[in-house]
Amino acid sequence: MAYETILVETRGKVGLVTLNRPQALNALNSQLISELNTALDGFEKDAGIGAIVITGSEKAFAAGADIKEMQNLSYPETYLEDFITSWDRVAGRRKPIIAAVAGFALGGGCELAMMCDIIIAADTAKFGQPEIKLGVMPGAGGTQRMTRIIGKAKAMELCLTGRMMGAEEAERSGLVARIVPAAELLDDALKTAATIADMSLPIVMMTKESVNRAYETTLAEGIRFERRLFHAMFATADQKEGMAAFVDKRKADFKNR
Ligand code: CO8
Are 125 and 57 in contact by the 8 Å Cβ rule? The answer is: no
- 52's enclosing H/E stretch is strand 51-55
pLDDT attached to residue 145: 97
Residue located nearest, by CA, to atom 38 of ligand 1: 63
- Which of 25, 37, 54, 144 should be mutated for ligand 1, with most atoms under 8 A from CB? 25
Size (the chain), residues: 257
* Cα distances (angstroms) measured from residue 2 to each of 22, 36, 77: 18, 12, 28
Question: Of 31, 22, 79, which Cα lies nearest the Cα of 56?
Answer: 22
Contact call for residues 37 and 1 (beta carbons, < 8 A): no
Q: What pLDDT was estimated at residue 124?
A: 98
Query: Which CATH architecture does the domain made up of 200-248 adopt?
Result: Orthogonal Bundle (1.10)
Q: pLDDT tens digits, residue range 91-144?
A: 999 999 999 999 999 999 999 999 999 999 999 999 999 999 999 999 999 999
Domain residue extents for the chain: 6-197, 200-248
CATH 1.10.10.10 fits 6-197, yes or no: no
Q: pTM for the complete prediction?
A: 0.97
Q: What is the pLDDT of residues 38-85, one digit of tens each?
A: 999 999 999 999 999 999 999 999 999 999 999 999 999 999 999 988
The alpha carbon dihedral of 74, 80, 82, 83 has a sign of negative
Percent of the chain with pLDDT over 70: 100
66 CA from centroid of ligand 1 (Å): 7
Q: Evaluate if residue 1 carries a pLDDT over 90.
A: no
Q: Is 62 in the pocket of ligand 1 (CB under 6 A)?
A: no
N- to C-terminal Cα separation, the chain:
30
Please tell me if the domain spanning 6-197 has the same topology as the one spanning 200-248. Answer: no
User: Looking at ligand 1, which residue's alpha carbon is closest to its atom 20?
Assistant: 24
Q: Would you say the ipTM is above 0.90? A: yes
Residue 7 has pLDDT above 90, yes or no: yes
Which pLDDT score is estimated for 182? Answer: 98
Instruction: Tell me which long-range contacts 41-46 makes (C-beta under 8 A, separation of at least 24).
Output: 42/1, 42/8, 42/15, 43/15, 43/95, 44/93, 44/94, 44/95, 46/10, 46/15
By alpha-carbon position, which residue is closest to atom 14 of ligand 1?
Answer: 24
pLDDT in tens, 191-208: 999 999 999 999 999 999
Q: Among residues 35, 109, 125, 131, which one is catalytic?
A: 131
